[in-house]
Chains A and B, each alone.
Chain A
Amino acid sequence: MRRTLPLHAIAWIVGAFILVPVLYAVLGGFKSTGQLSTNPFGLPDPWQTGNYTEVLGAGSFWRQLWNSTFIAVTTTVIVVLLSAMAAFVFARFAFRGREVLFTVFTMGLMFPFAVAILPIFVLLRTLGLLDNPLGVILTQAAFGLPLTIIILRGFFRGIPGEVEEAAIIDGCSPFGFFWRILLPMARPALATVSVLAIVGSWNNFMLPVVVFSDELSWTLPLGVQQFQGQYASDTARILAYLVLAMLPALGFYALAERHLVGGLTAGATKG
């Protein structure tokens, strides 16, 4: 223990660097803004729950939570399903042009999203998909394809050919093999890419901010930004909103940490 004491001290300092801003937000939400400037460090005195309850009582927070959830889940279903299908044939069929096609997808990793945002905006406007969740969902799914396909193809390749041959002998069609055998076997990889897609969609700002002008379509990041603008001087209230907006992401992180970290490190090294 004595040997590791300095190490713990350093870890605590780094931990404080991370945690103090978050604790400030959590406690600040329980203060009034006046209290926040006279008593920035201490515990709230008295504890005021008004900031939190007012945010929770307003419909906009819940609507943004729902929009974020809906967009994240739909994006994930689309990108994982389409990627799994493509990765399946890339991994297990020999056909002419396969490597070229696969390379086209992997090149997608090199396209920064910001490069495409203007044409995408014009395209979505032409298609009438502005202020439509589908505009954000389809675009996010399209940009999620490269990494998802790469990770899934790697995993599908690792499943022994004997499994497929046995299934075919038993009368399985390629689709039957894909749907009933490959996908269930690939559950860990599917979980990893799903977690990546959910987090990416949940935190996305650049796309929704140009696509959604109608308040009813806003996701949580847009809501947070707007809330700050609206209550600029009421710091405590903004902190309460921030904390509540953080909770779903942190809760999800606590549940899915293993998949998230595994996916990111795998994605980082393969991308």
Chain B
Amino acid sequence: MTTLTRGPEAPARPALRRADPRRRRIRVTVALFVLPALVLFLLLVVAPIVVAFYASAFKWNGFGGLPTNFVGLDNFTRLLGSDLFHQDLRNLVLLVVFSLVVQLPFSLAVAMLLNQRIRGRAVYRLVFFAPYVLSEVITGVLFSLILSPGSGLANHLLGFVGLESSWLSAPDTVMYSLFLVMTWKYFGFHMMIYLAGRQGIPNELIEAAQIDGGTSWKVFRHVTLPLLGPTIRISVFLSVIYTIQLFDLVWILTEGGPSHASETMAVTMMEFGFGRNQVGYASAISVVMFVLSFIFALFYQRFVMRRDLEGASTRMGDHR
């Protein structure tokens, strides 16, 4: 594919050097085409991130131009010592572990199931992915009604076997309930990624292993799973990055409650930033979120996805 394009390594075309007016015209064209996107990007993506870093060193209520009350790293020391932030981190770890141990294996199993030749698999796929298209707000409101401890559907169902739960309204069950809703909404997305990855594996490889006498589990464990490695690593990556910034679902389902039991970093940040006008402190939280995502991304790409980035296996999904 790259042979057809002028990559950076391709020598500049002779036409580029022939005459100065032509070169200038190209520069003008480039500028006209890139500038609109660049201006928008700098103004609304780069500048706000820079300001977030800047503001995190100030005590600031968000009003009156740029902040002036410089406090150095005070916001960060206060944050690192706060119980709420520790709760945020515990919840983050809990959700990441659950996702890796329950949600992603479940998605993978369903993807392998739908990769079999069973009738109606297109319909199954369509249905399983559908929740991903619904907004977090719709999902959240729907489940807050279903999981309502009084008259929700879940307790009506579980009432038959005497397993009613307080779901979202008790500190010791709220995280499991939240995770249940997350799984409902997102497993279809991971399933789709795995399906695309599985379709990128030549069937001959799998068939050869079957002919060699492997049981289906052995073939899966020693052939399919390793070949799916790059795909799985990407889905783990997306899952972790998403969990670090989790906000909408939690806000709708619990607002971080009861008594902060389901609070996430983004929820804490929004509470301090918009609820209490402590924009400087809230910016420190957002900086920590950014740094966590950034370090994770760097570390992960450096050590975990390293081999995948140049491999042919990342071609998957590029079927346009």
- A residues with a Cβ closer than 8 A to B are 4, 7-8, 10-11, 14-15, 17-22, 24-25, 36-37, 40-41, 82-83, 85-86, 88-95, 98-99, 101, 104-105, 108, 110-123, 138-139, 141-143, 145, 149, 154-155, 157-161, 174-175, 178, 188-189, 192, 199, 202-203, 205-206, 210, 220-222, 224-225, 228, 235, 238-239, 242, 245-246, 249-250, 252-254, 257, 260-262, 264-266, 268-271
Set of chain A residues within 8 Å of B135, measured between Cβ atoms: 202-203, 205, 220-221, 224, 249
Apart from A86-B37, A91-B5, 4 more pairs, CB < 8 Å: A11-B118, A92-B6, A228-B144, A269-B193
Residues of B234-279 whose CB lies within 8 A of A: 234-235, 238, 241, 244-245, 247-248, 251-252, 266, 269-270, 273-274, 279
Contacts A91-B5, A110-B297 given; indicate if A24 touches B146 (C-beta within 8 A). yes
B318 and A142 contacting across the interface, CB-CB below 8 Å: no
Confirm or deny: B223 has a beta carbon within 8 angstroms of a beta carbon on chain A.
no
Confirm or deny: B80 has a beta carbon within 8 angstroms of a beta carbon on chain A.
no
B40 and A18 contacting across the interface, CB-CB below 8 Å: no
The listed residue (A36, A154, A254, A268) touching B193 by CB distance below 8 A is A268
B80 to A: closest C-beta gap in Å = 18
What are 8 A-B interface contacts by the 8 Å CB criterion? Answer: A18-B128, A24-B146, A111-B290, A112-B289, A114-B266, A154-B318, A261-B129, A269-B196
B279 to A: closest C-beta gap in Å = 6
Residues of B281-320 whose CB lies within 8 A of A: 282-283, 286-287, 289-290, 293-294, 297, 314, 316-320
The listed residue (B43, B47, B156, B318) touching A41 by CB distance below 8 A is B156
The listed residue (B143, B189, B234, B320) touching A21 by CB distance below 8 A is B143
Interface residue count on the B side (C-beta < 8 Å): 102
A85 and B34 contacting across the interface, CB-CB below 8 Å: yes
Residues of B21-50 whose CB lies within 8 A of A: 26-27, 29-30, 33-34, 36-38, 40-41, 43-49
A189 CA to B238 CA, complexed, in Å: 22
Confirm or deny: B228 has a beta carbon within 8 angstroms of a beta carbon on chain A.
no
B30 and A242 contacting across the interface, CB-CB below 8 Å: no
The A-B contact count (CB < 8 A) is 286
The listed residue (A119, A158, A203, A206) touching B48 by CB distance below 8 A is A119
Contacts A235-B151, A264-B189 given; indicate if A122 touches B38 (C-beta within 8 A). no
Count chain B CB atoms within 10 A of each CB in A11, A91, A138, A160 and give the residue with the most. A11
B317 to A: closest C-beta gap in Å = 4
B244 and A118 contacting across the interface, CB-CB below 8 Å: no
Set of chain B residues within 8 Å of A98, measured between Cβ atoms: 8
B89 to A: closest C-beta gap in Å = 16
A262 and B319 contacting across the interface, CB-CB below 8 Å: yes
Stretch at the interface among B9-17, B71-79, B166-174, B201-209: B9-17
Residues of B69-125 whose CB lies within 8 A of A: 110, 113-114, 116-119, 121, 124
Count chain B CB atoms within 10 A of each CB in A155, A221, A265, A271 and give the residue with the most. A265
Confirm or deny: B211 has a beta carbon within 8 angstroms of a beta carbon on chain A.
no
Count chain B CB atoms within 10 A of each CB in A101, A264, A268 and give the residue with the most. A268
Set of chain A residues within 8 Å of B8, measured between Cβ atoms: 94, 98-99
Residue of A nearest to B155 (CB): A40
A108 to B: closest C-beta gap in Å = 5
Residue of B nearest to A188 (CB): B320
A84 to B: closest C-beta gap in Å = 9
Q: Which 10 A-B pairs have the closest CB atoms?
A: A142-B44, A203-B135, A119-B48, A265-B317, A119-B51, A221-B137, A116-B48, A86-B37, A265-B196, A82-B37
Contacts A19-B127, A115-B287 given; indicate if A25 touches B142 (C-beta within 8 A). yes
B130 and A18 contacting across the interface, CB-CB below 8 Å: yes
Set of chain B residues within 8 Å of A270, measured between Cβ atoms: 317-318
A238 CA to B33 CA, complexed, in Å: 47
B136 and A145 contacting across the interface, CB-CB below 8 Å: no
The listed residue (A118, A210, A220, A268) touching B234 by CB distance below 8 A is A268
A265 and B193 contacting across the interface, CB-CB below 8 Å: yes
A24 and B4 contacting across the interface, CB-CB below 8 Å: no
A35 to B: closest C-beta gap in Å = 11
A78 CA to B113 CA, complexed, in Å: 40
B238 and A268 contacting across the interface, CB-CB below 8 Å: yes
Confirm or deny: B134 has a beta carbon within 8 angstroms of a beta carbon on chain A.
yes
B229 to A: closest C-beta gap in Å = 13
A198 CA to B30 CA, complexed, in Å: 28
Contacts A11-B118, A158-B1, A206-B247 given; indicate if A123 touches B48 (C-beta within 8 A). yes
